[in-house]
Amino acid sequence: MFRPLIPILAFVLLALGANAANLTWDATNGYQSDEVELSGLLPQEIQRVLDWMNSGRKAEERGNFRRALRKYKKVNKKHPKSQYAPESHFRTSQIRLRQNKIDHAFESFALIAFVYPSYGSFDETIGEMYKIAVRRQESYKVKIFGVLPGFLNYDRAISYFERIVSIAPYCDYAPLSLMNVAQIWGKRKNETMTIYSLDRLITHYPRSFLTPDAYIQLANTHAELVRGPYYDQGNTEDAITFFEDFLIQFPANNRVDEAEDGLFDSQDVMALSKVKIGDFYFHKRADFHAAKVLYNEAITIAPKSGSAEMARSKLDKIAAKEEKLGAAQAAEAERKAPTVEELEKKAEKRAKRKVLGIF
C-alpha cells in the first residue's frame, strides 16, 4: 500500500534545503542548470546524479516509464538535497499521471509542495494536488482485481483535501478544499462533520468567495437537523443565527431571497415551539401568566407567521377566560360579603364588651 511521507522524514528533507535551480532540458545536451550546485556533493557525485537524471528523462521520452522511474528514484532517495531532487519528483508525478496512478502522483506533488516549496510554481503544484483530490471525489475508481469497476473512495478524497489545507493554508485552494470536504460529508449524511468543515471555512477564510455559500449551507444543515416544534430548538437557533449573519454581511448576494425564506421558516418553527410549550401551561397547568409570556415570545420571534397568528388566538382565549373568572370571583365575593344589619349587630357586640370593661 502506498503510504504518505511521514512528517519526520519530511522535516529531515526540508532541513536539507535543496535549492530551486532553473533547470532546462533538451534531448541533445540533457539537463542544464544556471546555478552552482550547493548541496555539498562531490563533483563525481554531482555527475552521477546528472547522469541518472539524463538517463531517466531519455527513457521517459521513449516511453520506458519503468526505467525512468528507477533512475528518478535513485536521485530523490540517495541525494534528496541535490538541486535535481525536486525535478526527479516532478518527472515522477508526470509519469504517474500518464499511467493513471493518481495516488502516486499526488504523493509526488505533495512532497514537492511540502519539502521543496521554492521549486517551480508553488500554486501550480497545489493546483495539481487539488485536481487529483477532485478526481478522487468525483470520478476516479480503482478497479477490483484490475477488471471490475470499483467505488469512489471518499475517505481518500477527504484526506487529500485536508492535506492541501495543511500544506498551503493561505492559498486559494484551501477554502475550495474545505467546501469539497463539506460536500462529501453532506453526501455521507454526517451533519456534524459537515458543520465542522463549513465552520472552519467561514472562520479562517471570511473573505473567500465561497464564504456566503458556506453560511447558507451551514444554516440549511442546522435547519435540516430540527426534528419539530416539540424537540430542543438549539439547531433552529443556530440556523436563524447563520441566516441572519448572511443577510447582514452579504446584503447584495444573489442568494438573499433564499436566506430570507430560510430565516422565515426557521423563525416560524421556533415560534411554533413557543406556542406548544405555552399550550402546556395553558391547558395542563392553568398557569395563564407563563402561557402568556410564551405566546408573546412567539409573536416577537415571527410576527408575520402562522405560529404568531395562533399565539394571538391563544392570548384572546386567555383574556376571555380571565374576564370570565374575574366576573365569577367578583360575584362570589359579593355573595359572601356581610349585610348592613350583620355589620350593625357586630358593632353593638363590640360596644357592649367595652362597656363591661372586658377590653
Check residue 338 and give its pLDDT: 61
- Domain CATH number, residue 89: 1.25.40.10
Which residue, of 57, 92, 120, is where some domain finishes?
Answer: 120
pTM of the model: 0.81
Is 234 a domain residue?
A: yes
pLDDT in tens, 139-159: 877 766 666 677 788 999 999
Domain C-terminal end among 170, 201, 232: 201
My answer on whether 142 and 246 are in the same domain is no
* 190 shares its domain with 139: yes
Q: Are 217 and 200 in contact (CB under 8 A)?
A: no
Note the Cα 319 to chain centre separation in Å.
47
Overall number of domains in the chain: 3
Question: Are 255 and 356 found together in one domain?
Answer: yes
Quote the domain boundaries for residue 256: 210-359
My answer on whether 147 and 27 are in the same domain is no
Q: Are 214 and 202 in contact (CB under 8 A)?
A: yes
* Whether residues 229 and 302 fall in one domain: yes
- pLDDT confidence bin for 208, thresholds 50/70/90: very high
Average of pLDDT values for 87-112?
A: 96
One domain, residues 109 and 14: yes
Per the prediction, the chain carries an average pLDDT of 87
83 vs 330, residue with greater confidence: 83
Q: Are residues 95 and 195 in the same domain?
A: no
Residues 149, 102 share a domain: no
Residue 87's pLDDT band, with cuts at 50, 70 and 90, is very high
Contacts of 149 (CB under 8 A, 6+ apart): 141, 143
| pLDDT at position 16 over 70 | no
In this structure, the answer to whether residues 218 and 307 fall within a common structural domain is yes
Same domain, 220 and 193: no
Say if residue 215 is in the same domain as residue 348. Answer: yes
* Predicted pLDDT of residue 310: 95
Query: What is the pLDDT at residue 339?
Result: 61
Of the candidates 187, 258, 190, the residue with the CA atom closest to the CA atom of residue 225: 190
The predicted pLDDT at position 3 comes to 43
Distances (CA, A) of 282 to 207, 214, 232, 276, 290: 49, 41, 20, 10, 8
Same domain (yes/no): 136, 182? yes
Q: What is the pLDDT of residues 22-77, one digit of tens each?
A: 789 998 889 998 877 877 888 899 999 999 999 999 999 999 999 999 999 999 99
